[in-house]
């Protein structure tokens, strides 16, 4: 009986914890080589925001989001900090980090469509709860279902076929067997690249293409039809985010499956994709979709609709990578080979944790430490932060 009383008292102590502050740390994390997609110039850095949720028991939860501006997002670090500090933090002070559902519901009601800001806050709450309980986040989400998860590599636009193949060769040697080819600027170059990749690797790789919403309907139909002979596993977000009807029509005309990404921000947006059969899979991302709290709902919706779940991310450090890995580690159903490890697979020049997540032969191990399973490197944070 005494043992049971001690256990109950210990549990009560943990749940009595209260949030004391929400800290925002803006960073510029450099790419090894400027990263180019179909829209905008090549990016030299990832604008990253680290959020720390401090508690009165000395336990701090950590989360990550990005200001990844492209079609569907006009986020800036300054705007995210304003939302978190002036609108979210006042609602969180004095509350228990264990009240994740109530807190996140309130934040979403107060600032609708603020998923980029909510992502880091919600993930920091899960991280804090895991640390307080001494268990990985996957245990909080229902228990471990796998030890590792296979990931895909993304081929940034390089300008020449030779440089693209060099990058693809490096990924293949590291054990990656799913490659994502960026398309949407020059259709002739897109065709040359796809042909060269298939010729180089044959059926040893699964090849995807991603237009990042850059094509209009006629160009997409023409290009994707020409790409079909190269056995494309899926074509990601070929059309503008508002053209769901066009996506649905493409899905009927093409043999290759379509994946939704930029057009899926909220559960309401996903409902339209499902209803119109505009894609056979969807990619979620920590920042875009609001972190663990919101993404889990999207995964359940995708599963119920019989659609593929593609665990993704903007290029991110080990913090956001760990967030997706923890979700994958607890998900009992099938998952597509996702692109959530782009940042840690060679794209970023630096990481910000003491124990960086490393892929092993194209697979990511599920972190087993408390919370997200990562520990921040405070010296790296100071080096990369841009508010000092």
pLDDT tens digits for 269-278? 999 999 999 9
Q: What does the angle CA 269 – CA 66 – CA 215 come to, to the nearest 5 degrees?
A: 50
Per-residue pLDDT at 81: 98
Q: Would you say 369 and 128 are in contact if contact means Cβ atoms under 8 Å apart?
A: no
Q: Supply the pLDDT for residue 284.
A: 98
Closest C-alpha among 272, 285, 274, 271 to residue 316:
285
Which residues belong to CATH 3.30.390.10 in the chain? 14-134
Using the predicted structure, report yes or no on whether residue 22 has a pLDDT greater than 80.
yes
Which CATH class name applies to 14-134? alpha beta
353 forms bridges with which residues in the sheet?
A: 376
Helices (H), the chain: 2-15, 77-83, 89-92, 100-110, 115-133, 137-140, 161-173, 187-201, 217-227, 244-253, 267-276, 286-289, 291-304, 318-330, 378-384
What is the C-alpha separation between 260 and 155, in angstroms, rounded? 19
Query: 217-227 and 244-253 are packed helices; what angle lies between their axes, rounded to 10 degrees?
Result: 30
What span, in angstroms and rounded, lies between the C-alpha atoms of 17 and 90?
17
Q: For residues 7 and 385, what is the distance between their CA atoms, to the nearest angstrom?
A: 41
Other Cβ atoms closer than 10 A to 192: 14
Q: How far apart are CA 222 and CA 219, in angstroms?
A: 5
The 10s digit of each residue's pLDDT in 295-334 is: 999 999 999 999 999 999 999 999 999 999 999 999 999 9
Rg (alpha carbons) of the chain, rounded to whole number = 21
Nearest to 379 by CA among 25, 32, 119: 25
Q: Which CATH number fits domain 139-375: 3.20.20.370, 3.40.50.460, 3.20.20.60, 3.20.20.120?
A: 3.20.20.120
Which regions of the chain carry the CATH code 3.20.20.120?
139-375
Tokens of 13: 């102590």
Mean of all residue pLDDT scores within the chain: 94
The pTM for the full model equals: 0.94
Q: Tens digits of per-residue pLDDT, 161-193?
A: 999 999 999 999 999 999 999 999 999 999 999
pLDDT of residue 37: 77
Contact criterion met (CB below 8 Å) for 284 and 312: yes
247, 263 Cβ separation under 8 angstroms: yes
Q: According to the model, what pLDDT value does residue 70 have?
A: 78
Gap between the Cα atoms of 223 and 236, Å rounded: 13
pLDDT digits (tens, 9 = 90+) for 323-375: 999 999 999 999 999 999 999 998 899 999 999 999 999 999 999 999 999 99
Average the pLDDT over 67-71 and give the result: 83
Task: Report helix, strand or coil for 387.
Answer: coil
* Total count of residues recorded for the chain: 388
CB 203 within 8 A of CB 168: no
């Amino acid at each position: 009986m005494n043992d049971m009383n001690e256990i109950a008292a210990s549990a009560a102590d943990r749940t009595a914890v209260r949030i004391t502050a929400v800290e925002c740390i803006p960073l510029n994390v450099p790419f090894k080589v400027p990263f180019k997609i179909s829209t905008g110039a090549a990016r030299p850095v990832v604008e990253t925001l680290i959020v720390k949720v401090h508690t009165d028991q000395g336990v701090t939860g950590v989360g990550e989001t990005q200001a990844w501006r492209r079609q569907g997002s006009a986020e800036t670090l300054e705007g995210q900090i304003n939302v978190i500090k002036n609108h979210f933090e006042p609602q969180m002070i004095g509350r228990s980090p264990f009240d994740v559902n109530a807190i996140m519901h309130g934040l979403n009601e107060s600032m609708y469509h603020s998923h980029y800001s909510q992502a880091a806050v919600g993930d920091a709450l899960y991280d804090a709860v895991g640390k307080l309980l001494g268990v990985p986040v996957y245990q909080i989400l229902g228990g471990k279902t796998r030890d590792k998860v296979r990931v895909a590599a993304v081929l940034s636009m390089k300008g020449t076929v030779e440089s693209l193949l060099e990058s693809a060769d490096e990924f293949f040697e590291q054990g990656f067997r799913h490659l994502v080819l960026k398309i949407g600027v020059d259709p002739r170059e897109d065709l040359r690249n796809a042909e060269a990749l298939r010729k180089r690797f044959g059926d040893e790789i699964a090849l995807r293409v991603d237009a990042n919403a850059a094509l209009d309907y006629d160009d997409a139909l023409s290009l994707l039809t020409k790409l079909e002979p190269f056995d494309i596993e899926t074509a990601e977000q070929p059309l503008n985010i508002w053209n769901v009807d066009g996506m649905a029509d493409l899905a009927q005309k093409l043999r290759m499956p379509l994946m939704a990404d930029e057009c899926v921000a909220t559960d309401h947006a996903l409902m339209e994709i499902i209803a119109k059969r505009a894609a056979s899979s969807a990619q979620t991302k920590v920042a875009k979709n609001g972190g663990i709290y919101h993404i889990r709902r999207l995964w359940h919706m995708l599963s119920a609709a019989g659609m593929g779940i593609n665990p993704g991310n903007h290029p991110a450090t080990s913090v956001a990578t760990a967030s997706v890995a923890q979700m994958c580690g607890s998900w009992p159903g099938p998952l597509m080979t996702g692109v959530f490890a782009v940042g840690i697979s060679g794209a970023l020049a630096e990481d910000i944790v003491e124990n960086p997540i490393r892929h092993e032969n194209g697979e990511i191990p599920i972190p087993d430490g408390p919370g997200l399973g990562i520990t921040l490197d405070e010296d790296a944070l100071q080096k990369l932060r841009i508010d000092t």
